[in-house]
Each structure stands twice: as structure tokens, then as C-alpha cells.
Structure 1
């Protein structure tokens, strides 16, 4: 029993969501995991239909020089599938850290699904292409299911955050190491925790780097922004980001825009003390690390690595990849041991 005179007033500290939120975590976790497994199976089916060697796909997981797109989608898709499996599993284990990550993945999934459905709505030619392939209707159903899963996950996790409260309690004395202290709960934005400030700064820096490269690309004349449309320009880039029928079903433009904006938004959320920001930051850090590590392997695997430093632009490109890798590692290092708020 605590001696309040010697050790202070005990306070309950949450380690898991409470009972009313448990069902939401289980439902969303199961739905996300099942959808991720379905997406992985879809990639496997596409590879088998294309006749691609399975070894090529496994090599492409770490070597960007091995081309398996469009059959196996992109490295960003693989990273999202892995993140969905990991954080969906954490949701099944009723860990609060899964909440922010699943909200981030839900937003990205909603965007991907809407991009496909917008293409179907705007282009009769695109609808005809899907009708002519054997699995066209199945693809549409898969995207509709993705939209449903994404919206449901976003709504459920948002509601779970509003009603989160201690389920498994432990008494922590006031003044003890890591104790939250006695008094009303901290409101978002009332005080920035050091770990949140460091991680938020890292994400804002990552976002600045990626947005800088995007603005540079959009400012170039005849920039090759959209596959098949080298002169698409700014309007073409944004249309391709939100319309699958414009150039290609591969969402390169969408991912370029999404992964440039996401670090900025998560960085702001961390500075504001948003409870879901930690989980979203962990998921984005892991995705960024994978994509950057794969890109870096492509640099080092070249016979003439020094060729990347022949021009200022290529040098900045390599250094930017290394910088965002280090920033993502730093954010991951401070977010992993942080306590869920």
C-alpha cells in the first residue's frame, strides 16, 4: 500500500484501451490484417499471371534495379502492406500505439481507393479496359472494399481515442520517475514533451526535404513527372495523383504527394501533443526507412558510385536520401520508448 506522506499521491496509468474500446481495436485490427493479406495475395496472383520469377520479386524487395512493376505494384505498396500487418496485429493485441498508425494507413488507403474509383467514373476507356481483363470486376470490388475498410478504420479509431481510458491500472506515486503527476489530464497543445518535440522536428525536416524536391520537379520545363506524359506539367501531376485513368494505375504521383505531406502533418500533430501522433509517427518512420534503405542499396550497388557526385543535383539527391534516413531513424529512436499518451 502506498504511503502518501512519503511517496505522494498514486495515480492510475493506462496501459491498454478500456473495455468499450477493445471491440473497436479487435474489429479494425482484424479487418486491416485481412485486407493486407488479400493485397499480398493479389500481388502474388499478378506475379504468377505475368510469368515473373518469384526470385525476381524477392530481389526487388531490396534492389530497386530489379523491375517487377506493374505486376507487383511498388515498394511503397509493399511497405504499406507490411505496416498494416504489423500494426493490425498490435490492434488485435489491443495496444494503443496501433491507433495512430491505423489512422494514417486508413487515410492512405482511402486515397488509393478513391483514385481508382475517380478514374472509373471519369474515363469510359478505363472502364472498358477493366471490363476486357478477366479480373477487372474483382479489382473494382477490391478497391471498394479498401474504401470501406479505410473509412471504417478511421472512424472507429477516432471514436476509440475519444473514449480511451484505463483498463489495466497501476498506481504510480507522484514524483516517481515517469509519473504523470496529480491533476487534470494534459490537453493537446498545452505542453510539448521533449520526445514529441524531437520527433516532430525530424518529421518537419523530412517533409521540407520531400516538398522541396517536389516543388523543384514541378518547376522544371518538360519535367518527366508522369509516366507516359512527359509534358504533363503541374495539372497533369495532380490529376495523375487522384485519377488512375490519366496515365497509369501505378500510383507513383499519389505516393510522391502523400509521403511529402504526411511528415509535415504528423510533425505538427506531435508538437500539438495529439495522442495518435506517436503511432502514426512510428508507422511513417518505418515506411520511410524501408523506402530509403532500398533506394540507398541501389546507389551503393552501382559499379561507379562516384558518378552520383558528378553534378550538384545528383549529389543533393543522394544526400537527401541519407538525410531523410537519419531523420527517420532519430524519430523512431525517440518514439519507440515514449509512453503512449
Structure 2
């Protein structure tokens, strides 16, 4: 090699080292990743952790798709895999490839399906991402499917359910996951950041998405009962005071005009508390994949209780 070629190679080496996987540049320095972008915090966290980085031109290219080979390197680094020699052979991935030791190790661990072909240059789909992340981070199974565009028979359905239940994905909006969509670099950073932060529940603690609708409603039953009991107690106090004034000879309309606004205030406050609790219950049900109508029995019972309390109040006074 001539002196000029050696000098050029020496100058180029640092640039090559600052490739997508090696640079330690802060995400805050990427001109194409703004603090207002959804992926900003995840990109910054993954760059700081040494899992992902930018390009030689200083950009991150968050909307560029991730290939299967790139995903193997990134997931391997997120797991802290120590690459070692392997005798595994692929028809489309040479052992000299940067991704080779990661792919071989991830296949050995069952994270990627074992095969003689890997399709390293193919963009990674969101379905594939759900499968490998669920396997890589040993995510617990879930029975609830929050996405309308993933059928129960879809090959990745169980993995997508697990990913959603673990809080690693919330989909692409409008209740959809887009299983055939391609994973972008920004999404990859979010997926990996969420997966690394996921903590398996303590044994015996219900896993989100594995509870039945009845179990979820049971968690709120005591709160609804307590709310009703407090309203009844408050109204009983007002009824007792009103009756005492009537028994002492006070005019009926005078007593009515005094205590009706107080009783209405108790009712309004109880209604507000009920609606807040009811909203929490319906949110918990829908998050677990159930219909909000599962909570209707609480509203029906509440309306019936209100009617009965009004009748009881009048009976106590009169």
C-alpha cells in the first residue's frame, strides 16, 4: 500500500468507526432528532447505553427502516450479549459479517428461529419485532388483544399481546398495531428502551391483560360500595336534622327550602365521585381488552340506589 493510500485509510478509519452501531454521540446532538419528537428520550437513552448511534454525517435518521441484521446487533447489545466464535453457517450471511456473531448467538438462544437463511438485508417487520422482543426479554403471556388489526389467528398475535401488556408498545394509533409495517430506527429505540425498563411482576401479582373482567370489576366493587354508604350516611344526617326541625314545629316549606339544596349538593358530589371511579373502571376494562359495557351493571345499580335513597330520605323526614 502506498503512503497516500495508508494516509487515506488512516483518515477514513475514525469515520467508519462512527457507524450506526459504534458512535457514542449524544442524541441531543442529532440535528434530526428534536426534543419534541416522540423517539427523542428513547434515542438518547439507547445512545447513552451504547446500544445504538448515529451516522458519520452526524444524523440519526429515525425514520429509516431497520434491517434484520441491524436488529440482531441492536438486540444483542441491549441484552449485553458477549459474542463468541460460532460454527453456524448461513447461505446469506458470511461469518465475516458484523451481524454474524449476534445472529448466531440469538438463534442459539431461540430468539431468532433457527434456519440456514437469515435474510439479513430485509427490513424488520413490526410482527417480527414483537416475536424477538418477547423472546429476548422473556415477556409474560397475555390474553388481551388491544389492537383491532391483529386477528386471533395471526402468527404473531400472542407476541403482540405480550408486548402490549408489558407496556412496550401502544401501537400506531386508532387502536392499531400495523403488524406488517416496517420498524424504523426511531421505533427501534423506543421498543428497546421500553423493553430494557420492563420489570417482570412479583410472583402472585396479576399481570396486566391476564385478569378476567369479573376480577377487574371486583377490584372496584368495594370503592363503589363505600361511595354509596357515605352518601347514605350524609343524607341520613340531613334527614335527621330536617325531621327534628319539623317535629319542633318548623314550617314544611321552610325546612324543604333549607335542606333540599344541601341534599342536592351531596348528590352532585357523589355523582362526581361515582363518574370518576366509573371512568377508571372502564379504562381498566378496555386496557385489558374488554368492552366498557362490562361496567354497566355498576351504573345501573347506582341509579337504582339513588332513587331508593331519595325515597328513604322523604320517608325519614315525613
| TM-score band, normalised by shorter chain | under 0.3
The structure whose RCO (Cα within 8 Å, separation 6+) is larger is 1
Return the TM-score normalized by structure 1. 0.26
